[in-house]
Amino acid sequence: MAGTGSFKVTRISEGAVKPAAATPEETLPLAWVDRYPTHRGLVESMHIFRSGADAAPGVIRDALARALVFFYPLAGRIVEPEAGSPAIRCTADGVYFAEAAADCSLEDVRFLERPLLLPQGGPRPLPRRRPLGRRAPQHHHDDAGNLALALQITKFTCGGFVMGLRFNHASADGMGAAQFINAVGDMARGLPEPRVKPVWDREKFPNPSIKPGPLPGLPVLALDYIVLDFPTGYIDGLKAQYKAHSGKFCSGFDVLTAKLWQCRTRALNLEPGATVKLCFFASVRHLLKLDRGYYGNSIFPVKMSAPSETVLSSSVMEVVDMIRQAKERMAVEFFQFAKEETEQDPFQMTFNYESIYVSDWSKLGFAEVDYGFGPPKFAGPLVNNDFIASVVILKAPLPLDGTRMLASCVTKEHSEEFVRGMKEDLP
């Protein structure tokens, strides 16, 4: 039980949910990118639903068991039979699942919008992450880091619920994790099998002999948490400007990321010759012609760097040009990596204040999941680190129309100027 003031969350039940039918017993090797050291981390997200609290735990638990028959590796454990070569042992031990209840409504806690404050009795911060569940406890002899997946359903009064999802990046990338919980939704709505059948196929991802570089240092940056919303009409206007500028089409991600990089660079007020860096990961499923059901990591970094004065003296549309050129280079760089035509680890990262990392959750599929209670009001990752300047782009929560940025990329010293720049031409 956890509480603050009159608010508390009570754990009702917890345990392993196993596949609903017999599954193969085997050890499956992970792909090169799955095995990458930084992909052994746990990715946490929350999925907020306005209704269905009474039925959700039972419905989702049963659907989870049926979905695991198809995605049976996720019911296993990550093992390391050889040093540096983690794999998934398909044990059918199951995934961690918990049910909890909060004694307030989602409206009382602003649908978990930051800052997470209770309105009664003066502003008091909610415990970070506790409505979603604490660290998954040990099962058998495995610790939580060996679990592929963990879920918790927290019921709120007035009928809403929050699903907390934690998945191990070694077992799936964001698109793969979304594919799995969409399959759980398919089962919950009575479908006999997932609409997109999973395939393992990890051997189809390149397996070069390139060794991962050393793990990067993690500075403590004390970053502010900033939420920015951009209406669809505003984004469409920027895209139209780019069409007029270049004669070509671009994505909403391109224009928002260009604006972000320029506004952040201006806010940092660096020396003109200082190098600023931008990085995001792009899917390479299309380059490898992978089956639609592939749910492993299939990503490659898109990196760019420039003197700060170049980013600042360019128009936003010219910064979009820089981003699109980097995307085009990515395919060449990926195949050089695949064919071992480079000795450098392309996934090697540097975390410093001059570098920013952008992640796009808007098209992964989390916002479309339906367990029979309608799509979520909000679905997105928990962003609370003080060592990586990062921004997550995702669909704005209903009923808003457009895109939301969860920005943890500037310190308090620079946040006012950053926010002013990002909002200066918003309607």
Please list the active-site residues: 169, 370
Q: Which residues pair with 2 in a beta bridge?
A: 9
Instruction: Give the H/E segment covering residue 70.
Output: helix 56-70
**DSSP state for residue 320 in the 8-state scheme:** H
Q: Which strand (E) or helix (H) includes residue 413? A: helix 412-423
E-state strands within 173-274: 226-231
245 sits in which H/E element: helix 232-246
Tokens of 123: 């502003």
Q: What angle do CA 38, 306, 311 make, to 5 degrees?
A: 115
Return the amino acid letter for 91.
Answer: T
User: Whole-angstrom Cα distance, residue 103 to residue 372?
Assistant: 24
| Closest listed residue to residue 365, CA positions, set 209, 183, 189, 202 | 183
Q: At what angle do helices 252-268 and 412-423 cross, to 10 degrees?
A: 140
User: Tokens in use for 420?
Assistant: 């002013």
